[in-house]
Amino acid sequence: MKKADSSATYLDQVNAAVGYISEGQNTIPTVGIILGTGLGQLIDNIQVHKAISYRDIPHFPVSTVETHAGELIFGQLNGVSVVAMKGRFHYYEGYSMKEVTFPVRVMRQLGIKKLIVSNAAGGLDPEFEVGDVMLINDHIDLFPENPLRGKNLDDFGVRFPDMSEPYDQKILKTALEVATDEGIRIHQGVYAGVQGPNLETKAEYRYLRTIGADAVGMSTVPEVIVARQMDLPVFAMSAITDLCSPGKVKKISIQEVIAAAAIAEPKMTSIIASLIGKME
């Protein structure tokens, strides 16, 4: 395991991680993939060239959630060079937003041109069923901290990035076509990002629905903000793991969330694998 220099600047830390990862790396990944809770099956479709433990990468956070493996996977998916995060980081784990989004900075510096994000989420839309897939077309940021807070690093992008279109409409359209061609039941909607780790009360679910959210989760929004600052096109989708609309709310465990994610996982894997082959 490489030792981190605590006195290094954030940019130095990113560059150190990139330098370590790039040693002996012959290909440049063009697509970055972040896999959420219970959604690691996509790795089985990747022709893996190299896997690096997060623990070995300088300054890289380490997954503390039991369902997140903690490996950076390099390989080919449908003829495209990819780097996939098998396990992500959450604000509720105690990390700062700069730590949560550190891997996105690193993947951008490694060369990715597009970012794909997946997550497990609670369904606020009464039409949703457990195991459904929602393509994210917008989000509501309810986190108490922003990953861009503090001194701006011009190497990464502008101080005030535009967020009028956080999710790439062209990729979204292609994903909808892929889902239709493959006969996958699909939804589009707005994702609300919250701090966690507790699930929401019934009153909070009603509030989230009232302000325009179709699904709620504890990730994705920070990574998307950072990606858009760096002008990376983003595609994201949610596995609906529990129902949060009036009359459908019930007590749920993490084991039930994982089981529900497993229902959605083959659909999401199929969409991502096909989508990557169609990305320009």
pLDDT number for residue 157: 93
Whether 2 has a pLDDT exceeding 80, the answer reads no
**d(C-alpha 192, C-alpha 139), whole Å:** 6
Share of the chain above pLDDT 90, in %: 74
What is the pLDDT at residue 143? 97
Select the more confidently predicted residue: 66 or 239.
Answer: 239
The confidence score (pLDDT) of residue 66 equals 56
Residues in Cβ contact with 201 at an 8 Å cutoff, skipping those fewer than 6 apart: none
pTM: 0.92
Q: What is the pLDDT of residue 4?
A: 47
Least confident of 7-16, 164-173, 198-207: 7-16
Domain ranges across the chain: 10-278
Q: Is the pLDDT of residue 5 over 80?
A: no
Residue 253 has pLDDT above 60, yes or no: yes
Over residues 44-61, mean pLDDT: 91
* 98-154 residue pLDDT tens: 999 999 999 999 999 999 999 999 999 999 999 999 999 999 999 999 999 999 989
Residues 6+ apart with CB under 8 A from 151: none
Residue 69: the pLDDT is 61
Question: Length of the chain, please?
Answer: 280
Of 37-46, 106-115, 179-188, 215-224, the one with minimum mean pLDDT is: 37-46
CATH of domain 10-278: 3.40.50.1580
**Average model confidence (pLDDT) for the chain?**
90
State the pLDDT at residue 277.
85
